[in-house]
Amino acid sequence: MSVFTEERLVPLVAFVLAWLATYLAIQLGKQGKIRIRRIPGLDAIEEAVGRAVEMGRPVFEIVGMGSFTDIYATQTVAGLSILSYVATLSARLGAKMYAPQADVGVMPVAIELVRTAYTTEGKIEELDIDEQLPYLSGEQFAWAGGIIAMAARMKPAANIMVGPFWAESMLFAESFDRAGAMQVGGTARMYQLPFFAAVCDYTLLGEEVFAAGAYVSGDPMQVGTIGAQDWYKIVGFILAIIGALLATAGVPVIGDLLSL
Amino acid sequence: MDYRRDIPLAITFLVGVIAVMDYYTTLKSVTDTFTVIKNWGVVLYAFALGIGAVNLFRVHGRRISERRRADWPFSAWLLLMIVMFVVVGLGTGQFETSSQYEWIYNAIYLPIDSTMYASLCFYMSYGAYKILRARNFDAFLLFITAIFVILGNTPLFPATFPVFFHIREWIFGPIVGGAYRGIRIGIGIGAVVLGIRTLVGLETGYLGRR
Amino acid sequence: MSAWEKLTALPREVVLGLVLIAMIIPVIRPLGLPLMVGTMAKDWYDTVDALPEGSIVLFDIGFGAGGYPTLGPATIASFHQFFEKNLKIIIMATQVAGSMMYPLIMDAVNPETIYGAVYGEDYVFIGYIAGTQTAMAGVLGDLYAIVSVDYKGTPIAQIPLLKDVKGADDFTLVAYITTSGDIAEGWVYQAYSAYGKDLIGGMLSMMTTTMKPYYDTGQLLGLLDGVKGASDMEFLTGHPGDAIRSSDVLSFSQTLVLIFIVIGNISYFGARAARKEEF
C-alpha cells in the first residue's frame, strides 16, 4: 500500500514546488529583488481612514462571516490581517473603528488583534470592545441587518470589507454607499465579487485578498511571496495554453498528467 | 523569545503540517492524530458558542439597564426572543422535531429571513440603475452584457424571442466561464501561498502586528 | 437641475416604489405570461425521468428560510416527480436550517395522500449532518458510520429503506438544492469526482454563472437556477405553484429594471450633451 494518497500525487508535487518557490521568493524578497505593482484598493485604506478622521465619522471594518474551520479560513485570516492594519491606522490617526463580529471563534482573535493595535499605539483607553466589536449574530441576515442598522445610524465615512462574504455583500455595499462611505471591498468568493466590483470605490479581486496581509505589512519577505504567487500563475497560464492546444489536436496529455 | 507570538506560531506550524500530511499520505498515525486535533477544535468551538451568548446578554443587558439609547426596547426584545426560542426548543423536544418550536420558527424566523433575502432584489434594482451607465468603453461592455443577460433571464423575452436565451447561454459559457476559471486559479494559488506564509510564520496578521 | 439630470438621479424611493408596484400587480392579478423551459431544467427533468422505478435518490436540502421562497417550489416540484416515478428518496440536510425546511416541503408535497408513499419504505429523512463535505463524504462512504438514527430518532437499521443502503454504490442519483456555494461545489467533488455518481443540482440564480461550467462539462447532468428553474420544473411536472406565479413577477420587475437602466443611460448622455452645449 502506497504511503501517499491515491490521485493526489500531482497536487503533492505542486504543493512541494509551491514551498520551494515561496522559499526562493522569500530569499529574493530579502534582497529587494522582487517588486510588485501597487494595489489601489489596499493603498486606499489609509486614505479611507484619513477621510473618516477629517469628517469626524467612524470607520467600519468587516471581516465577513467565515470561521477558522471552514474552507474560507484563508480568507478569514486575510481579513484579520486587514483588521489589524485598519485598527492600527485608526488608533494612530484617531478614527473610531467598528468591527461587528459574526463568528464566535473568530471574535476572540479579532478582539485580541484590535486590543494589541490600540495598545501598541498607546490608545488603549479609547477602545470600548463591547461597543466597537460587538457580537451581532451567527445568522447571516441577523448579522447583516445589525450592520446595516449601524451604518444607517452612524453614517461612517469609510467601510473596509475584506474576507468571505455571502449574499449580504450587496446589502452592505448599497447601505454603506447610501451612508456616504468610501468603500474598499474584497473577497475571494466569486459569487459576490460582481456586487463589490459594481458598488465599491475600490475592489480587491480574488487573489489580491490573499496578498493583502503581505502587501500592507511592507515586509520584503512577505512581499516576495506574492512574487511566488505570480510565478505559479505564469506556470498555470503556460500549461493551460499548451494543454488547450494539445487537447484541441486530440492529445489530452496535460489533462491526463494533471489527473495523476 | 516572545512567547505570545512564538508559541501560537509553533502550534500553527505543527497542526498545519499534520493537516497537510493527513491530506497527502495514508499514514494511520497521522490520520489518528489529526482526528484528535479536529475533535479538540470541535470542543473549543463549542465553548466559543458560549462566548457569543454571554456577549449578547452582557452588551444588551447593559443597554437595557442604562436606557441611554433610544433603541433599548429592541435589546429587551432580542433577549426575550433568545430565551423564548431556547426554552421552547429545549423544553418541548429536540428543537426541530418539536411542533411548538417549528411553529415559532415558521411564524417568526422564516418570514424575517425570507424578507431579508428578498430585499436583495431592491438593492440590486437600484444598484443596476445607478451603475450600468456607459461612461467609458469598459462600462459600455458591462452595460451591453448586462442588458443581454437580463433579457435572457426574464422569462417573458426568451419565450417570445428564443434568441435571447441563446445569447445569454453564450455569454455564460465562453465569456463568463473563462473569466471565472481564471480568477479561480488565481484564488487557489493565492490561498496556497497564504497558507504557506501562515505555516512558516510570516503571516502574523491574525496574531496582531508584533 | 435640468430634466436630464433629474432622470439621471431618480430618488431611491421612486425607483424602488415602482419596482414594488411591478411586483404586486402580477401577484394580485396573475397574467400567465409565457415562459420558455430552459435546457438546464429540461436536462434535470429528463435525468430523473430516465431512472428505473425503485431507484434510490440521495437528496440534500441545502437551504434555509432565506432560500425557501426561491428554492422551496423547485424542491416541491422535484419531489412530485420523484414520487410519481416511484423512486426511493433518502433525504438529508447539510445546512442546519434544512431540517426546518423538510416539514414545510413534505406538507406541500403530501406524499402519503397523493402518492400513497410510506415513510421509511419510500422516503426517509436522516436529518442534518454537520460538516458539509465531511458529511457528504461520510454519507457516500459509509452511511452507517455517520448516521445512527433518522430525523425521528428511529435507528436506521430498523428502517426498511435504509437496511441495505451502505454508501455511494446504492445511490442511483445524487440531487441537491442549495443556497450555498460550498454545498453546490462540494457535491461535485464528493459525488461526481470521488464516486462518479450521476449528479443534478439546484441553486440560486446568482450562483448559476459559477456552477454552469460544471454543467457544461457534464459533471452536473441538470441544473435548476433560481425561480426560473423552479418555474420550469413546475411546468414540466405539471404541478404549477409559487414559482410559475413568481415568473410573472420576475418578468414584470426585470422589465422595469431594464427600462430604468435604459432611462439612466439616455438621461446620462442627454445631461452630458446639455452640459457641452452650455460651454
**What are the tens digits of pLDDT across the range A55-94?**
999 999 999 999 888 788 889 999 999 999 999 999 999 9
Residues B20 and B35 in one domain: yes
CA A198 → CA A8, A73, B37, C97, distances in Å? 38, 25, 42, 31
Closest Cα in chain C to B180: C210
Nearest chain B Cα distance for residue A108, angstroms? 9
Rounded Cα–Cα distance for residues B191 and B194 (Å): 5
Has residue B205 got a pLDDT over 80? no
Residues B21 and B78 in one domain: no
Residues B61 and B75 in one domain: no
**Per-residue b/e over B17-36, b at no fewer than 16 CB within 10 Å?**
ebbbebebbeeeebeeebee
What are the pLDDT digits (tens) for A115-147?
999 999 999 999 999 899 999 998 899 999 999
> Best mutation site among A15, A104, A132 for testing chain B: the one with the most B CBs within 10 Å?
A104
Q: Which residues pair with C93 in a beta bridge?
A: C128
Rounded Cα–Cα distance for residues C277 and C279 (Å): 5
Residue B89, Ramachandran bin (φ over 0: left; ψ between -120 and 50: alpha; else beta): alpha
Rounded Cα–Cα distance for residues C105 and C103 (Å): 5
Query: Contact C182/A71, CB-based, under 8 Å?
Result: yes
Residues B13 and B60 in one domain: yes
Residues B25 and B8 in one domain: yes
Q: Which residues pair with A62 in a beta bridge?
A: A161
Compare CB distances from A84 to B56, B127, B209 and report the shortest one's residue. B209
Q: How many CA atoms lie within 13 A of A60 on its CB side?
A: 32
Residues B187 and B138 in one domain: yes
Q: Residue A57: which residues within 8 A CB-CB, separation 6 or more?
A: A154, A155, A156, A157, A158
Q: In this predicted structure, what is the pLDDT of residue C279?
A: 64
Q: Name the residue among C14, B84, B53, B116 with its Cα closest to residue A149.
A: B116
Compare CB distances from B150 to C67, C69, C254 and report the shortest one's residue. C254
Has residue A260 got a pLDDT over 80? no
Rounded Cα–Cα distance for residues A57 and A36 (Å): 33
Q: In chain A, where does the domain assigned CATH 3.40.50 lie?
A: 40-217
Has residue A176 got a pLDDT over 70? yes
All three cell numbers of A108, joined, read 476572540
B207 lies in a domain?
A: no
pTM score, two decimals? 0.85
* B1 C-beta neighbours (distance < 10 Å), count: 6
- B57 lies in which domain range? 1-68
Has residue B210 got a pLDDT over 50? no
What would the mean pLDDT of B154-158 be, rounded to a whole number?
Answer: 88
B209 lies in a domain?
A: no
Q: Name the residue among B206, B20, B207, B190 with its Cα closest to residue A225.
A: B190
CA B146 → CA A166, B131, B139, C262, distances in Å? 21, 11, 10, 11
Q: For chain B, how far is it from start to end, CA to CA, in angstroms?
A: 12
B141 lies in a domain?
A: yes
Q: Name the residue among A96, A102, A129, A92 with its Cα closest to residue A114.
A: A129
At residue A240, what is the residue type?
A
Residues B85 and B115 in one domain: yes
Q: Does A96 touch chain C (CB under 8 A)?
A: no
Residues B114 and B143 in one domain: no
What would the mean pLDDT of B2-18 be, rounded to a whole number?
Answer: 87
Residues B137 and B193 in one domain: yes
What dotted CATH number matches A40-217?
3.40.50
Q: In this predicted structure, what is the pLDDT of residue A242?
A: 92
What are the pLDDT digits (tens) for B34-47?
888 888 887 877 78
Give B96's pLDDT tier (boundaries 50, 70, 90): low
Residues B56 and B104 in one domain: no
B197 lies in a domain?
A: yes
What are the pLDDT digits (tens) for B101-127?
888 888 998 899 889 888 888 988 998
Query: Contact C255/B156, CB-based, under 8 Å?
Result: yes
Residues B114 and B77 in one domain: yes
Q: In this predicted structure, what is the pLDDT of residue C168?
A: 93
Q: In this predicted structure, what is the pLDDT of residue A1?
A: 61
> What is the overall mean pLDDT for chain C?
92
How many domains in chain B?
3
B124 lies in a domain?
A: no
B126 lies in a domain?
A: no
> What is the overall mean pLDDT for chain A?
91
- Residues in chain C, pLDDT under 50: none
